[in-house]
Amino acid sequence: MKIITYNVNGVRSAISKGLVTWMMREKPDVLCLQEIKANADQIPMEEFQALGYHCHWFSAEKKGYSGVGLLSLKKPDHVEYGIGIDRFDAEGRLIRADFGDVSVISVYHPSGTTGEIRQTLKMEWLGEFYDYAHFLLESRPKLILSGDYNICHRPIDIHDPVRNATNSGFLPEEREWMEDFLNSGFTDTFRVFNKHPHHYTWWSYRAGARTRNLGWRIDYNMVSNALRPDLMNAWIQPDAMHSDHCPAVLDIDC
């Protein structure tokens, strides 16, 4: 099973930059999208359906903002939208699809870069997401949590940990949350297979950051520890250029 998570920074924009052709080449079994920035009726779904994908979208109430999608070659047994908390679900943050005893989630954690109010909301969301994931574990122990977490876990995951130490996405409380979350029963699949620095999934549009590889690794395929023995490989694709993010890929025998 090949699972790819990709913050496309606008699905219609990504399509115009060759997203569908890339999908034809990569053939993911499940593609988790974040920041789709569109309502379902604005997305040319026939392009995905022509490749054999079942498409599920959870858009934000605010037009042109946030939103997640989950595309799969196999029809899910069941799909859930949101975490059941209105103020977060209004932003289209999470969608879950069940395939047999495995559940795949596409999640878009909030960014706190616009100020204190959004940073506070981000930390509140992280607390609710932690509880949601652990409650779900009780009935669905085989979880794959794919998405944009908007957090660099460790200094190895960011190009300049010193000067970014007070920036949202690398704050001590965010990194502590990530550490606690992983220690509570989840695995960062990329770091199982790659322990080296300079691997990132997001670059600022400013100052040629991507060309110089001045990036942040904020997109993850997390799995519950029940699935850790089934991991086959995990990597990122920095050469995919449909967004300011790049895809993160997981191969898993499930």
> Could you give the angle at the alpha carbon of 180 between the alpha carbons of 178 and 182, nearest 5°?
70
Q: What is the pLDDT of residue 33?
A: 98
pLDDT tens for residues 132-148? Answer: 999 999 999 999 999 99
Q: What mean pLDDT is reported for the chain?
A: 98
Q: What is the pLDDT of residue 65?
A: 96
Q: Tell me: pLDDT of 68 over 90.
A: yes
- The residue-averaged pLDDT of 16-37 equals 98
Name residue 79's amino acid.
Answer: V
Q: Tell me: pLDDT of 254 over 90.
A: no
- The residue-averaged pLDDT of 142-163 equals 98
Residue 124: which pLDDT band, with cuts at 50, 70 and 90? very high
- The residue-averaged pLDDT of 163-175 equals 97
pLDDT tens for residues 194-247? Answer: 999 999 999 999 889 999 999 999 999 999 999 999 999 999 999 999 999 999
Any catalytic annotation for residue 180? no
Secondary-structure percent of the chain, ordered helix, strand, coil, rounded to 5: 30, 30, 40
Domains with residue ranges and CATH for the chain: 2-252 (3.60.10.10)
> Which residue among 148, 157, 188, 219 is the active-site one?
148
| Complete DSSP assignment for 161-228 | TTTTTTSTTS-HHHHHHHHHHHHTTEEEHHHHH---S---SEE-SGGGTTTTT-EE--EEEEEEGGGG
- Return phi, psi of residue 212, to 5°: -90, 0
Residue 58: which pLDDT band, with cuts at 50, 70 and 90? very high
- The residue-averaged pLDDT of 39-52 equals 97
Q: What is the pLDDT of residue 207?
A: 84
